[in-house]
Structure 1
Amino acid sequence: MSGRFEGKVAFITGIARGQGRAHAVRLAREGADIIGIDLCEQIDTVDYPMANSSDLDETVKLVEGLGRGIVARRADVRDGDALTAAVDAGVAEFGRLDFVVANAGIMPVWGKDSNTMQAWQDCLDVLLTGVLNTVETTYPRLIDQGTGGSIVLTSSMAAVRPMMRTRGGHTLGLLGYSAAKAALINLAQNYASFLANYHVRVNTVNPTGVNTPMIQNEMVEDRFTNGNPEDIKALVNAIPVDAVDPEDIANAVAWLCSDESKFYTGNAMRIDAGASLR
């Protein structure tokens, strides 16, 4: 299968399911080969089932079914050495790197451990330091390669608007999630500034709720059933949908990786169904 990403290679974190899988399939459908990692383990403060090895195997199957190559490994974005090893293996297989999608994430915002300092720390470690590790591992390769590239960081609408409307809606996990996602916008701007000279673009995508296992679970269902209705108003879409699909975010990521966006950098792209209007 040929397409606008023929001969290109993308490195995607959190690839086993959800948005990460959607990005892999979308880019592969247009010709890209894929390097991907996922933790495939549970983090104790996360009160919903995280991805496992079977999920990762399914992503591999889907990409290979499109006729593209994929190097997929279990790795933790908190571990810089593991990230380097995964990227090294992929570049050895495919010979280059063009796109980086720092997508891996967790959401310990509600549930039994959500109001602990560990939930706060886990958010910072995975959502912020993990993204830093991902970019630090990859951007020198893009510079050395000399052909430009695109780096996309998965942020959130939680970065640009408060998620708490009552004291009862307060958890340390939700504060950590929101703070980390907000910091990614600044991180992207700084990387975009110094990488612009090398034609490497850096942007964030800031989705509203996305129909993935991160929100389709008992933790979120319980929150929406039993939480204060005032807190539920924190993220209401103007377009009358409860959430968007991962493919909607993948479409935006594909554009950010394409030459169609070659002069678009340092921006936070809201795919929010008009939530910012409410």
Structure 2
Amino acid sequence: MGNFDGKVVYITGIARGQGRNHALRFAREGASIIGLDIAGPIAEHTTYPPATREDLDETVRLVEEAGGKILARQGDVRDLAFQQQLVADGVAQFGGLDFVVVNAGVLTWALTWEMTEEQFTDVIDINLVGAWKTLRAALPVMIEGGNGGSVVVVSSVAGLKAMPVQASYSASKYGLTGLAQTLAKEAAPYQIRVNSLHPYAVNTLMGVGDTSAVEAFVDPKFSRYFPSMMDHNPIADPDEISDAILYLCSDSAKSITGVQFPVDMGHSKV
């Protein structure tokens, strides 16, 4: 018996890293998975390896190997019609929609006054507008289902404490924090809880495989802004983020909504 037997979760950005881990953890607890990932290059200005179609296929294989059911498609969160169709097909296949994990995101690095137009608009379009499109596709279905549910919007510590060399990323993540707050108030009458999650560094290719991140962290002009309180634990494991998400979706968190939930080694307080 799993904690989420018979439940259905929609997760964006599932090809690898945190998204894949969330999908696996939900599947092991009995949930069926609806998921998408662009599974390809996102923008020329990112400085970490993009996910691939093979990564997405591996997520499907791992979920099914764990005994889970999954409907996963290659697509872009910026495409509202695609997301609406995916959600509709997933609900038809699995019988409903209980949870949404808004996980897909992109990161770029540059000084605010040196960013290209693409570095700013791509990040806002994917991280913030894409997140709204995910919610636009999912919330009407959840409300119509009438069974309540839980939404976790994955923001960042950069949505609580602005970070240097990350103007578009910080702006997008602060935007997600506000979006989650608004939705929490709007969805409460339908017994849908909404919380934002705020990780710091996570052991994924986007988290530790980014050459520009390494440069920023050691740059003496900016390094003082990056430390956390926990030098002995500088990088979170994806399971720590999944633990928080599964908790926020569980009945143990039935009284928690509108919260900014940090998993940040105290970084936002430094």
TM-score bracket, shorter-length normalisation: over 0.9
Supply the distance in 2 between the matched residues of 1:218 and 1:148 (Cα, whole angstroms). Answer: 38
* Alignment TM-score, normalising by the size of structure 2: 0.94
Q: Hey, what's the Cα distance between the residues in 1 that align with 2:29 and 2:252?
A: 14
State the distance in 2 between where 1:245 and 1:232 align.
22
Q: Note the C-alpha offset of 1:256.
A: 0.7
In 1, Cα distance between equivalents of 2:11 and 2:135: 11
The answer as to 2:234 corresponding to 1:235 is: no
Contact between 1:208 and 1:235, CA under 8 Å: does it hold in 2? no
Residue 145 of structure 1: aligned partner: 145
Q: What SS does the corresponding residue of 1:153 show, helix, strand or coil?
A: strand
Which residue of 175, 195, 200 corresponds with 1:203? 195
Aligned partner of 2:24 in structure 1 is 25
Moved over 3 A (4+): none
Distance, in Å, in 2 between the alignment partners of 1:84 and 1:218 is: 32
Q: What CA distance in whole angstroms lies between the structure 2 residues aligned with 1:38 and 1:203?
A: 22
- Please list, as runs of the form range in 1=range in 2, the aligned pairs for 1:115-134 lying within 5 A after superposition: 115-134=115-134
CA distances 1:90-121 after superposition (whole Å, capped 9, x unpaired)? 1121011100001000111259xx82111100
1:249 aligns with 2:248: no
SS in 1 for 2:61: helix
Q: 8 Å contact 2:37–2:74 — kept in the other structure?
A: yes
- Distance of 2:184 and 2:21 partners within structure 1: 24
TM-score in terms of structure 1 length:
0.92
Cα distance in 2 for residues equivalent to 1:242 and 1:109: 20
Deviations 1:55-113 (A, max 9, x none): 111111111111110000001000101111211221121011100001000111259xx
**Residues 221 and 136 (structure 1 numbering): CA distance in 2 closer, same or farther, change over 3 Å?**
closer
Q: Provide the residue aligned with 1:15 in structure 2.
A: 14
Deviations 1:211-270 (A, max 9, x none): 111022252465157x52241232212122221111100000000111111111111100
Is residue 61 of structure 1 aligned with residue 61 of structure 2?
yes
Alpha-carbon distance in 2 for matches of 1:83, 1:109: 28
Q: Aligned partner of 2:121: which letter?
A: Q
Which stretch has the larger CA shift, 210-219 or 125-134?
A: 210-219
CA distance in 2, matches of 1:147, 1:15: 25
Letter in 2 for 1:209: A
Give the aligned partner of residue 189 of structure 1. Answer: 181
Output the CA distance in 2 between the equivalents of 1:161 and 1:218.
20
> CA separation in 1, counterparts of 2:214 and 2:243?
31
- Unaligned segments of structure 1, at least 5 residues: 165-169
Structure 1 vs Structure 2: percent identity of aligned residues? 42
Report the aligned-residue RMSD.
1.6
Q: Is the 8 A contact 1:40 1:53 kept in 2?
A: yes
* Alignment-derived partner of residue 208 in structure 2: 216
| Alignment: residue pair count | 266
| C-alpha contact (below 8 Å) 1:151/1:202 kept by paired residues | yes
> Is the counterpart of residue 93 in structure 1 residue 93 in structure 2?
yes
C-alpha separation in 2, matches of 1:162 and 1:145:
38
